[in-house]
A and B are shown apart, each in its own frame.
Chain A
Amino acid sequence: MVTGVVAAFEANNIPVNEPGDVADTLSHILVQPINGQALYVSGGKTYEIEERLEEVKPLWLGKQLFEELTAGQAILQMVCAMPVYHPSDKSLPFFNRRVQVGRNASDAKNNSMCTCNVNIISMIVM
Chain B
Amino acid sequence: MKTDVTNYGAVLALFRKAFALHSRIDHAISNAGVVEIGSLFDTGVTDDKIEEEPTTLVLDVNLKGTIFFSRIAVHFLRKSLAQNKDAQKDASLTLVSSVAGFGDWPGLFVYSASKHGVMGLFRSTKNFLLPSEGIRVNAVLPNMTSEWYSTEEASKFEKLMPTHRNSNGHGRCGSIRSE
Contact = CB atoms under 8 A, between A and B. Distances in A.
Interface in B119-173: 119, 122, 126-128, 130-132, 136-148, 166, 168, 170-172
A41 B139 contact: no
B7 interface: no
Interface stretch (A30-38, A60-68, A104-112): A30-38
A39 B106 CA distance: 23
B66 interface: no
A18 B140 contact: no
What is the predominant secondary structure among interface residues of chain A facing chain B?
Answer: mixed
A38 B146 contact: no
Which of A5, A25, A40, A85 has the most chain B CB atoms closer than 10 A to its own CB? A40
Contact of A85 (B29, B35, B128, B171): B128
Given A1-B170, A36-B126, 20 more contacts: A1-B171, A3-B147, A14-B144, A16-B146, A17-B142, A17-B143, A17-B145, A19-B147, A21-B142, A22-B142, A26-B96, A29-B92, A37-B138, A39-B141, A41-B141, A42-B143, A85-B130, A125-B99, A125-B103, A125-B144
27 contacts: A1-B171, A1-B172, A2-B145, A2-B172, A5-B144, A6-B145, A6-B147, A16-B144, A18-B145, A19-B148, A26-B94, A26-B96, A36-B130, A37-B138, A38-B97, A39-B141, A40-B99, A40-B142, A41-B140, A41-B141, A50-B126, A82-B132, A83-B131, A83-B132, A85-B130, A125-B99, A125-B144
